[in-house]
């Protein structure tokens, strides 16, 4: 129940964090003089604020509803038998909320709709940026490490993305192609990248210590220059 609200806040916090990290400009190279400087927030299309369907509930009522909705999910997945003691306890909790005027069925549907809208928005990209010559700061996540440099990487807005925590949404992940190898000294090295941004929905295989995982991306950046980020 509260997970949707938390997801929205977390997404917003990560965007603000990225903007704060990269608010100071490094000295641009000659190739980047005419580039449009972007923030990660620019990659997310503008949309009306999402409405919290649980805004009128107290903290205690939210917690109780969260438990009831979790019970409903467990019941649908067969985690406990219908008519069992656990099932009866769950139904009693739900009846208590209904008696308090909390419409469990309606709020569950509103919660599901909110998650679906968040997922839909996470897939959207800023079509007005297609083909724009841009300069974007971020953290380098090479698709393959090499002592000779890499020609492909992911640019992400925060440290730990895709490895230590779930990947950012596609509109917060950029696949970067370089004409010349760039020597990455460490994972999540902060850099500025200048080049042409294209809308290109795809997935890229990121090699990890225990295998590889596919990362969905919403943008491709054909890099002209890459510079270490400096405050």
pLDDT of residue 26 exceeding 80: no
Residues 33 and 90 in one domain: no
User: Is 50 inside any structural domain?
Assistant: no
Q: Kindly tell me if the per-residue pLDDT of 210 is higher than 80.
A: no
Q: Would you say 143 and 176 are in contact if contact means Cβ atoms under 8 Å apart?
A: no
Q: What torsion, rounded to 10 degrees, do the Cα atoms 159, 165, 171, 173 define?
A: 50
The number of folded domains in the chain is: 2
Please check the confidence at residue 6 and state whether its pLDDT lies above 50.
no
Asked whether residue 145 is domain-assigned, the answer is: yes
The DSSP element (H or E) to which 230 belongs, if any, is none
Query: What CATH number is attached to the domain comprising 197?
Result: 2.40.50.870
Q: What per-residue confidence (pLDDT) applies to 231?
A: 61
- Are both 132 and 89 inside the same structural domain? no
Q: What is the mean pLDDT of residues 34-53?
A: 93
Of 126, 218, 226, which Cα lies nearest the Cα of 183? Answer: 226
Instruction: Tell me if 7 is assigned to some domain.
Output: no
Give SS3 for 177.
strand
pTM for the full predicted model: 0.73
Determine the pLDDT at residue 101: 95
Asked whether the CA dihedral 168, 170, 172, 177 is positive or negative, the reply is: positive
pLDDT tens digits, one per residue of 147-175? 778 889 999 998 888 777 788 999 999 99
Residue 152 has a pLDDT of: 92
Last residue of a domain, one of 122, 148, 172: 122
Domain, as residue range, for 93:
59-122
104-140: per-residue pLDDT in tens?
A: 999 999 999 999 999 999 999 999 999 999 999 999 9
* Residue 46 DSSP label: P
């Amino acid at each position: 129940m509260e997970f949707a609200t938390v997801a929205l806040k977390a997404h917003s916090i990560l965007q603000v964090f990225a903007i704060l990290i990269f608010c100071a400009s490094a000295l641009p190279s000659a190739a980047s003089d005419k580039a449009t400087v972007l923030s990660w927030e620019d990659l997310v299309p503008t949309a009306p604020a999402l409405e919290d369907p649980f805004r009128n509930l107290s903290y205690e009522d939210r917690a109780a509803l969260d438990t009831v909705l979790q019970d409903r999910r467990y019941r649908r997945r067969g985690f406990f038998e219908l008519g069992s003691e656990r099932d009866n306890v769950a139904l009693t909790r739900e009846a208590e909320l209904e008696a308090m005027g909390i419409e469990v069925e309606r709020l569950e549907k509103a919660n599901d709709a909110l998650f679906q809208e968040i997922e839909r928005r996470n897939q959207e990209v800023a079509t007005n940026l297609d083909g724009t010559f841009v300069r974007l700061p971020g953290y380098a996540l090479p698709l393959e490490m090499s002592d000779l440099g890499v020609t492909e990487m992911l640019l992400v807005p925060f440290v730990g993305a895709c490895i230590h925590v779930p990947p950012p949404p596609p509109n917060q992940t950029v696949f970067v192609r370089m004409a010349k190898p760039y020597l990455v000294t460490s994972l999540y090295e902060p850099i500025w990248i200048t080049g042409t941004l294209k809308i290109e929905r795809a997935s890229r295989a990121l090699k990890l210590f225990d295998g590889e995982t596919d990362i969905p991306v919403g943008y491709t950046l054909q890099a002209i220059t890459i510079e270490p980020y400096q405050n």
